[in-house]
Structure 1
Amino acid sequence: MSIAESAVAPATTEADVRVIPHWIDGGERASTSGRTAPVYNPATGAVSAQVALADEAEIDAAIASALRGYEVWSQFSIARRQSVLFSFRELLNARKRELAEIITAEHGKVVSDAMGEILRGQEVVELATGFPHFLKGAFSENASSGIDVYSLKQPLGVVGIISPFNFPAMVPMWFFPIAIAAGNAVVLKPSEKDPSAALWLAALWREAGLPDGVFTVLQGDKLAVDGLLESPDVASISFVGSTPIAQYIYETASKHGKRVQALGGAKNHMLVLPDADLDLVADQAVNAGYGAAGERCMAISVVLAV
């Protein structure tokens, strides 16, 4: 059974509920922690699966695998990396409907909305395929008397991504195409509420020719998050989520010497001017406020009428 099929397959009894694994060393890795969390079918409220919650040994194994992957991937020529990126781009475009159905099965947004999410992520994949240009260094001869100046652009190493439940494909794709194109290895910690999209993406990377360990999926909760934040082998963290957790991520990761992107919550206001078409305003306010169950970072939560 494929990841896409298993994500939407109904569970008949508690014993039949599958446990969603990690992705380590280029393949699915069953958890031995004994810790799990329920994944719900948003249409029925029933438990459709359990997701593994990593323990310290599994966190260490995931990071160690990423370190090995980085050692291999960082030595690939830019042209070889670009070839893998192009393969991933083509596979994603051809099979994005599978990913959309996984998102719908675990998050609950309708398939057309899920497809829109994927398309926004694909924009970053497209950007990453052109990264050979962005990776160029610079050289200035005789910038000062007898002094030449040059710059190099080099990968950091292992980078961590902690992504939210509301966009299980788009938000990781904001980050990992760029990180991988630049020669880094990625450890993705998806939301435990909808973890299967990350596994599908990992399998697609393998099919595209990415070496083992360069894209790792670490399932888990706060223990996994803290493991990435505190590990001396993780060079940077990219996070999207609520503002209080963004503050915690920024403080903890920066305290451990990491580069940090921590994007907190945001809600938009709709300004209604006196000459507005009120029927159109009402329709758009409902769509913007309640589309995807209001779980968009930029959902309209306040209407201000002038």
Structure 2
Amino acid sequence: MTSTLNDIETLHHLIGGEAISTANRTGAVYNPATGEQTGTLPFADATTLGHAVDIAAAALPGWRATGMAKRANIMFNLRQIIVARRAELAAIVTAEHGKVLDDADGEITRGLENVEFCAGLVHHMKGESLEQASTGVDVSQIRQPVGVVACVTPFNFPVMVPLWMVTTAIAAGNTVILKPSEKVPSAVLWLAEAFREAGLPDGVLNVVHGDKETVDAILDEPRIKAVSFVGSTPIAKSIYTRAAANGKRVQALGGAKNHMVVMPDADLDAAADAAISAGYGAAGERCMAVSVVVAVGDIADDLVARIGQRIKDVKVCDGTTPGADMGPVITAASKQRIEGFVAGAAAEGATVVVDG
């Protein structure tokens, strides 16, 4: 399906509080439930990123000197803004990621936990001291911001992961370059505006969009002192290697899927319910998704039958539909890849119990 030009929103970077669009390279943003293009997204090149770093570096001294109480108050304000408008934010998540509204709202709750944690930074940022660590020697430990830091966040949690990374970095006195997944940019722009409304000075949080070229520019930019990433394992390894070689602190979290082990004495109805919830929630696009169920002993056939019965009751549709259990996967390419797994399973010796 296609959209008319009037329906397609032109999105932007947010640098120093200013909406900036670069026309050299762009990407399309889609509603995965309909396949319609909903937005056009500018991709940042090294020049645009350099401008964002200029702004973040200029904002750093003032933000670092800002008192802890004022930083904490901004976090309190941010929490109130998100709580008051969480339905609006959840709808944005569903429109670009596809997860059902209840799941999107749950993601916001998890993100708010970290906002609340950072509201207590007056305590968390305390250092330590030890008198007479050795004869005549006292030891003191203080916590100071690293400087300009970058956060590269994934498509599967457009609110939760940015709030986990960004609030902690900002609360500690750093300034931030945030590069969200190009598939789900609008939730991050919403959050950045909420930060401004909460009282965060311009330049402390800057949003740039893009793809590998943009991320490579982040990894090679010497003024960015630390990088935090969540995504696939191959990309995590690549980012860790390149950023570390450039002398940056790196947090690179790769893909994670769970195995579920069902013992012979388990409640099989409860186990089947748990398998469905973990496998189909958020279309399986989360780190806590169960990809493999291991049945111990002679319970496998009974467990598979119960799971098969429940799969038929999973309501798969647009995430905004009341009673929806599962929305679409993120892209048409993802859908095709999953269909290929199902189509190839029988040829590899598997028994296909339920086929879409």
- Name the TM-score class by shorter chain: over 0.9
The equivalent position to 1:27 in structure 2, one of 6, 9, 18, is 18
Deviates more, 1:161-170 or 1:84-93: 84-93
Unaligned runs of 5+ residues in structure 1 are: 1-9
Deviations 1:231-281 (A, max 9, x none): 111110110000000000110110111111110001111111112233332
Aligned residue for 1:200?
190
- For residues 225-236 of structure 1, the aligned pairs below 5 Å read 225-236=215-226
> 2:33 matched to 1:40?
no
Conserved? CA contact 2:178–2:206, under 8 Å:
yes
How much has 1:14 moved relative to structure 2?
Answer: 3.3
Aligned residue for 2:238?
248
* Residues in 2 aligned to 1:181 and 1:72: alpha-carbon distance in whole angstroms: 13
Amino acid at match of 1:249: I
Q: TM-score, normalised by structure 2?
A: 0.80
How much has 1:15 moved relative to structure 2?
Answer: 5.9
How much has 1:129 moved relative to structure 2?
Answer: 0.6
- For residues 247-266 of structure 1, the aligned pairs below 5 Å read 247-266=237-256
The equivalent position to 2:5 in structure 1, one of 14, 17, 20, is 14
Q: Could you say what the CA RMSD is over the residues aligned between the two structures, in angstroms?
A: 1.5
Conserved? CA contact 1:72–1:211, under 8 Å:
no
> 2:157 matched to 1:167?
yes
Aligned residue for 1:303?
293
Stretches (4+) displaced over 3 A:
none
* Residues in 2 aligned to 1:132 and 1:278: alpha-carbon distance in whole angstroms: 48
Inter-CA distance 16–97: structure 2 relative to 1 (3 Å threshold): closer
How much identity, in percent, do the aligned residues show?
Answer: 55
- For residues 42-191 of structure 1, the aligned pairs below 5 Å read 42-191=32-181
Aligned residue for 2:352?
none
How much has 1:20 moved relative to structure 2?
Answer: 1.1
How much has 1:156 moved relative to structure 2?
Answer: 0.6
Deviations 1:275-300 (A, max 9, x none): 22333322321221111111011210
Deviations 1:183-222 (A, max 9, x none): 0111110000010011000000000010111011111111
Q: TM-score, normalised by structure 1?
A: 0.93
Amino acid at match of 1:239: F
Amino acid at match of 1:250: Y
How much has 1:32 moved relative to structure 2?
Answer: 2.2
2:27 alignment partner, SS class: strand
Question: What count of residue pairs does the alignment treat as equivalent?
Answer: 296
**Bigger Rg, structure 1 or 2:** 2
* Residues in 2 aligned to 1:11 and 1:185: alpha-carbon distance in whole angstroms: 39
Aligned residue for 2:305?
none
